[in-house]
């Protein structure tokens, strides 16, 4: 048999073997029972649901803090607007509306309403300031009476002119009457205070108030303690009998 014939037989045998193996695999697959491919839920299966819940919580938390931040920003903005003096309402003119009388009349009504509100707010603010000033003055007069210094007003009038903020701080302080009387009777300190900038003057008043409220130190005497006297009557170290005899 030639080499070519041997090679052909080997190739044919190899092909038959591969075909037999493939048929065996197919038969085994068809005869094998189908396995239940449904797996029991695991932690990995539950994880997407947990992640979705956590994302929802994170979203709600973010919305909560965003709303809180916006509310805080609005509050600060409102405080800034209230602290700034409101611009006085400007009375409209017919020329502002190109001589459109209807628009002009509407703007005029709005102006009158705004002007009435501003006038009312200004009157309320003025009344409040006056009430506070009267209350502060009454409290100061009461402290002056309690101080009981007949020459108080003479001393107060001798103080040089002070910055309004410094003078107000003196009158509003709890010990304001004492401070004013002290300055009026110590004009060197009053002159020094009058020459200071308001900020320095307020600091100086604080130091002066602390020095006035400081209690004086009690100095103990260096003298020795006095000798206690010995009573002349009664027995000391010896006893006496009924007849006056002394017992050693």
To the question of pTM greater than 0.85 for the whole model, the response is no
Mean pLDDT of the region 101-118:
90
Q: Would residue 241 count as lying in a domain?
A: no
Whether residues 158 and 198 share a domain: the answer is yes
The pLDDT of residue 72 is: 82
Domain boundary residue, one of 106, 122, 148: 148
Which carries the bigger pLDDT value, residue 60 or residue 233? 60
User: Which range, of 10-14, 98-102, 125-129, 204-208, averages the lowest pLDDT?
Assistant: 10-14
Residue 186 has pLDDT above 70, yes or no: yes
Whether residues 127 and 156 share a domain: the answer is no
- Interior angle at CA 228, CA 223 and CA 229, nearest 5: 130
Under the banding of pLDDT at 50, 70 and 90, the label for residue 248 is very low
Whether residues 124 and 140 share a domain: the answer is yes
H or E segment to which residue 202 belongs: helix 198-213
Whether residues 101 and 138 share a domain: the answer is yes
Tell me the C-alpha distance between 129 and 123, whole Å: 10
Under the banding of pLDDT at 50, 70 and 90, the label for residue 48 is low
Q: Would residue 19 count as lying in a domain?
A: no
Under the banding of pLDDT at 50, 70 and 90, the label for residue 81 is low
**Structural tokens at position 26:** 């197919």
Inter-residue contact 201 to 166 (CB < 8 Å): yes
Domain boundary residue, one of 148, 175, 198: 148
The pLDDT of residue 204 is: 92
Q: Would residue 141 count as lying in a domain?
A: yes
Inter-residue contact 190 to 184 (CB < 8 Å): yes
Whether residues 197 and 164 share a domain: the answer is yes
Tell me the C-alpha distance between 133 and 122, whole Å: 16
Q: Would residue 183 count as lying in a domain?
A: yes
Tell me the C-alpha distance between 8 and 156, whole Å: 136
**Structural tokens at position 185:** 């009777």
Q: Would residue 121 count as lying in a domain?
A: yes
Mean pLDDT of the region 227-245:
46
Tell me the C-alpha distance between 78 and 72, whole Å: 10
Give the chain's mean pLDDT.
74
3-state secondary structure of 136: helix
The pLDDT of residue 235 is: 39
Quick: pLDDT tens for 174-183.
888 999 999 9
The pLDDT of residue 230 is: 47
Mean pLDDT of the region 51-68:
75
Tell me the C-alpha distance between 166 and 197, whole Å: 9
Q: Would residue 84 count as lying in a domain?
A: no
Mean pLDDT of the region 84-111:
84
Residue 40 has pLDDT above 50, yes or no: yes
Q: How many domains does the chain have?
A: 2
Inter-residue contact 113 to 89 (CB < 8 Å): no
Tokens 């050693």 map to which residue?
Answer: 248
How far, rounded to the nearest angstrom, does the alpha carbon of residue 239 sit from its chain's CA centroid? 80
Domain assignment of residue 200, given as a range: 150-212
Q: Would residue 53 count as lying in a domain?
A: no
Whether residues 162 and 125 share a domain: the answer is no
Tokens 């002394």 map to which residue?
Answer: 246
Q: Would residue 8 count as lying in a domain?
A: no
Under the banding of pLDDT at 50, 70 and 90, the label for residue 211 is confident
The pLDDT of residue 237 is: 40
H or E segment to which residue 239 belongs: strand 239-240
């Amino acid at each position: 048999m030639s080499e070519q014939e041997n090679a052909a037989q080997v190739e044919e045998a190899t092909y038959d073997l591969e075909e037999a193996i493939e048929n065996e695999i197919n038969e085994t697959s068809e005869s094998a029972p189908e396995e239940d491919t449904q797996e029991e839920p695991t932690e990995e299966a539950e994880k997407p649901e947990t992640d979705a819940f956590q994302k929802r919580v994170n979203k709600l938390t973010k919305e909560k803090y965003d709303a809180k931040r916006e509310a805080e920003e609005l509050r600060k903005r409102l405080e800034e607007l209230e602290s700034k003096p409101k611009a006085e309402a400007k009375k409209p003119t017919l020329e502002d509306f190109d001589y459109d009388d209807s628009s002009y009349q509407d703007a005029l009504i709005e102006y009158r309403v705004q002007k009435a509100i501003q006038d009312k707010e200004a009157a309320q603010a003025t009344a409040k300031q006056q009430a506070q000033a009267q209350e502060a003055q009454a409290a100061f007069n009461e402290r002056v009476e309690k101080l009981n210094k007949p020459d108080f007003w003479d001393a107060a009038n001798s103080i040089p002119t002070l910055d309004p903020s410094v003078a107000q701080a003196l009158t509003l302080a709890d010990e304001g009457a004492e401070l004013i009387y002290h300055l009026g009777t110590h004009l060197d300190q009053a002159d020094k205070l009058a020459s200071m900038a308001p900020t320095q003057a307020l600091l100086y008043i604080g130091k002066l108030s602390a020095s006035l409220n400081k209690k004086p130190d009690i100095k103990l005497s260096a003298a020795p303690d006095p000798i206690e006297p010995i009573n002349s009557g009664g027995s000391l170290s010896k006893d006496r009998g009924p007849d006056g005899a002394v017992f050693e």
